[in-house]
Structure 1
């Protein structure tokens, strides 16, 4: 990758958007590669700082990272979408869209397995989570926080 495209990648590609629920949201699109999860964590941490929700950062970052990593490994298409929506006083929803129509499922990972635990982490850290088909493939979401 040349330095110009490397510089372009360092600029945030996410921005505030209007949500269907009326709650504030930020949305971004990241290239579907090994750096996407880290970029999603930065986006989530920054958005939660803007909303003054530091207590949610660790859980929301991990949820975003796991959902984006699943999209990078299992989906199709050149990019992954990430949206963070404030759904309550101290609650956010992290949603990841990708180009695959296949919905995720919880797995039971073997004791020595190196993969297969991401959605269990998401389930443990979130109030609720789910997945739904969308025009682009699917959206996998998780709600973190209280209130």
Structure 2
């Protein structure tokens, strides 16, 4: 199994990323990666929201993507801002929808929008990266 990788950003903080299988169980590993990064950066106040966001992004990639793997990335893009992202091989961009009350799914992206300071999806020639930025309160 591939090991997580780190890369130092211009902010002086390393990024954390890991390629995971496109399985629901990968959300557990993704949450651990997020917790590790936030603890290393002393941004523990973002943990609950970031863990929930990465869970939703992984769930969407598992449900809608192609191929057997996804990549989870956690970046400190500014001193108080963290980006949680999931890359997959699907070109279908996420759509915010309003599910009916009796539908079980369809609320994950709305949750990401509510918790994140900003979010988006960047198209790539091989697929896309869906990301959410969180800002520390202190």
Shared fold (TM-score, shorter chain, > 0.5): yes
Paired residues in the alignment total 135
CA distance in 2, matches of 1:136, 1:37: 22
Match of 2:34 in 1: 44
Matched, 1:87 2:77: yes
RMSD over equivalenced CA pairs, Å = 1.5
Structure 2 segments unaligned to the other structure (5+ residues): none
Alignment of 1:132 with 2:137, yes or no, is no
**TM-score, structure 1 normalization:** 0.86
Find out whether 1:34 has 2:24 as its counterpart: yes
8 Å Cα contact 1:103-1:131 kept in structure 2: yes
> Residue 44 of structure 2 aligns with which residue?
54
* Structure 1 partner of 2:4: 14
* Correspondences of 1:95-134 after superposition (within 5 Å): 95-134=85-124
Misfit runs of 4+, over 2 Å: none
CA–CA distance in 1 between the matches of 2:7 and 2:37?
Answer: 12
**What's the offset of the Cα at 1:64?**
0.6
Whether contact under 8 Å (1:126, 1:143) holds in the other structure is yes
Aligned-pair CA distance for 1:18: 4.2
TM score, norm. by length of structure 2? 0.91
Deviation at residue 146 of structure 1 after TM alignment = 3.6
